[in-house]
């Protein structure tokens, strides 16, 4: 399991970008780095801007070998992302510890 600090907006939204000076409240979530990415199904390894359930490669639109997705694959993966259920997003996780 790994930990990630996120920032909660007053409107309830969650950001990965540090924003305490904007009044965002930091909190820590734990996530399973071996859980499948909800887009490609490979282990997420590390959280990304897409959250704790999207791998950094899918977040950047790349294959794991670094190859940039073409337009067709971008559409296909975008469709998968829209149709997939967020299984371990911050909203559904228990907050590990409030800071
Ligand atoms: Zn992925």
Ligand 1 center to residue 33 CA distance, Å? 12
Other C-beta atoms lying within 10 Å of the C-beta of residue 39: 22
Ligand 1 (ion): residues with CB under 5 Å are: 37, 39-40, 55, 58
pLDDT (tens digit, 9 = 90+) per residue, 41-88?
999 999 888 888 899 999 999 999 999 999 999 999 989 888 887 665
Ligand 1 center to residue 42 CA distance, Å? 6
Ligand 1 center to residue 23 CA distance, Å? 31
The whole-number pLDDT of residue 75 equals 94
Mean pLDDT within 12-24: 84
Residue spans per domain, the chain = 2-88
* SS3 call for 56: helix
Q: In this predicted model, which residue has the larger pLDDT, 49 or 99? A: 49
Ligand 1 center to residue 41 CA distance, Å? 6
> Are 26 and 16 a contacting pair, CB within 8 Å?
no
* SS3 call for 99: coil
> Are 30 and 2 a contacting pair, CB within 8 Å?
yes
Query: For the whole prediction, is pTM greater than 0.75?
Result: no
Q: What are phi and psi of 79, to 5 degrees?
A: -65, -45
Give yes or no for residue 98 having a pLDDT over 50.
no
The whole-number pLDDT of residue 95 equals 46
């Amino acid at each position: 399991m790994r930990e990630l600090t996120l920032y909660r907006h007053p409107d309830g939204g969650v950001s990965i970008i540090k924003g305490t000076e904007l009044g965002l409240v930091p909190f820590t979530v734990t996530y399973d780095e071996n859980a499948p990415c909800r887009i490609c199904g490979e282990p997420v390894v590390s959280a990304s801007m897409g959250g704790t359930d999207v791998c950094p490669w899918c977040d950047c639109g790349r294959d794991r070998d670094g190859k940039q997705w073409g337009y067709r694959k971008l559409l296909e993966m975008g469709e998968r992302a829209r149709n997939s259920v967020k299984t371990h997003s911050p909203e559904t996780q228990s907050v590990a510890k409030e800071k």
